[in-house]
């Protein structure tokens, strides 16, 4: 698979790079960013944290705003940030132009409904195609962790719960914890997956956590002043699901913090150190 290097920037002794490639899974060209820590210079292979971003975001938001590179360089962890949906002129988009469906809002599911099923296979892309691409082209190990924010927090938790053998740990900021019960989730799942609630449950972290047998260390930060807390995010339901199944989830409610990257930048170091403890 051919990778095209779009940009390269040195950062904390390592390198932030953007690449584009043609995705067979998504049937379009995709872009991702990767931070490679300085440890790779001597031939050392490093583990990878996959970061999934939220609604309207691309690979750039986290890499430019979270301030993760300094700690990743210290810990010797690569970070990979894919886009949040397929892109391109022939990729379907919400005809209403809303921010919470279509381009920029892939929700990390495999769409089954026309026309979305032609391109919107983000679950398979993140779980299979992207790691294969990364591990074939960069000096990284097969040790993986996964994290994300909002829609990406939903994606990280859901993917880890469905694939505990593929990851060492999972964390999230402000995740959409129970998408089958909130407006964002209902809209996306109806459009991408149809009306079958059992299909929806396969992509719902609360439903998956209640039944999980393979259990990964899980860590969630949630701001108390998040404007989406009550209607969309519902972390208390995730905590209840974890308690029901004795799932190793730590949920921290962070007083005064909102949904923004100011919140993520404030606590990203803790998340990286959390993952490092399981990746080494």
111-124 pLDDT, tens digit each: 999 999 999 999 99
> How far is the C-alpha of 230 from the C-alpha of 240, rounded, in Å?
15
Catalytic residue among 204, 226, 271, 275: 226
Kindly state the percentage of the chain with pLDDT values over 70. Answer: 100
The secondary structure of residue 42, as a DSSP letter, is G
CATH superfamily name and code, 3-279: Alpha/Beta hydrolase fold, catalytic domain (3.40.50.1820)
For residue 85, indicate whether it is catalytic: no
pLDDT at 223 over 70: yes
For residue 22, indicate whether it is catalytic: no
Q: What is the mean pLDDT of residues 207-230?
A: 97
Q: How many residues does the chain have?
A: 280
Is residue 87 classed as helix, strand or coil in its secondary structure? coil
Q: Is the peptide bond before 115 cis (omega within 30 degrees of 0)?
A: yes
For residue 226, indicate whether it is catalytic: yes
Q: What is the mean pLDDT of residues 220-234?
A: 98
Catalytic residue among 85, 150, 169, 205: 150
> How far is the C-alpha of 173 from the C-alpha of 189, rounded, in Å?
21
User: Three-class SS string for 255-274?
Assistant: CCCCCCHHHHHHHHHHHHHH
Ranges of each domain in the chain: 3-279
Band of the pLDDT at 1, cuts 50, 70, 90?
low
**32 close to 130: Cβ distance less than 8 angstroms:** yes
Q: What are phi and psi of 97, to 5 degrees?
A: 75, 20
Catalytic residue among 16, 149, 259, 271: 259
């Amino acid at each position: 698979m051919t990778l095209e290097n779009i940009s390269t920037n040195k950062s904390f002794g390592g390198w932030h790079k953007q690449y584009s490639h043609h995705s067979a899974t998504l049937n379009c060209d995709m872009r991702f960013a990767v931070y490679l820590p300085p440890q790779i210079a001597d031939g050392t292979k490093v583990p990878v944290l996959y970061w999934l971003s939220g609604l309207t975001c691309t690979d750039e938001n986290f890499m430019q705003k979270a301030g993760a590179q300094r700690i990743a360089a210290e810990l010797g962890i690569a970070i990979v940030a894919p886009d949040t949906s397929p892109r391109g002129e022939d990729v379907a988009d919400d005809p209403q132009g809303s921010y919470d469906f279509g381009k920029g809002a892939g929700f990390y599911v495999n769409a089954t409904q026309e026309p979305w099923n032609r391109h919107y296979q983000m679950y398979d892309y993140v779980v299979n195609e992207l790691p294969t691409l990364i591990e074939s082209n960069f000096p990284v190990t097969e040790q993986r962790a996964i994290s994300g924010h909002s829609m990406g927090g939903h994606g990280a938790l859901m993917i880890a719960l469905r694939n505990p053998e593929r990851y060492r740990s999972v964390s999230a900021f402000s995740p959409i914890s129970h998408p089958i019960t909130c407006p964002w989730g209902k809209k996306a799942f109806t459009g991408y997956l149809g009306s079958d609630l059992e299909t929806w449950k396969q992509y719902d972290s609360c439903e998956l956590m209640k039944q999980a047998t393979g259990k990964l260390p899980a860590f969630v930060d949630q701001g108390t002043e998040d404007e989406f807390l009550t209607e969309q995010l519902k972390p208390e339901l995730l905590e209840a699901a974890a308690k029901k199944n004795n799932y190793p989830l730590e949920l921290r409610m962070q007083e005064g913090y909102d949904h923004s990257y100011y919140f993520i930048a404030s606590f990203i170091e803790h998340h990286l150190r959390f993952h490092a403890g399981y990746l080494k």
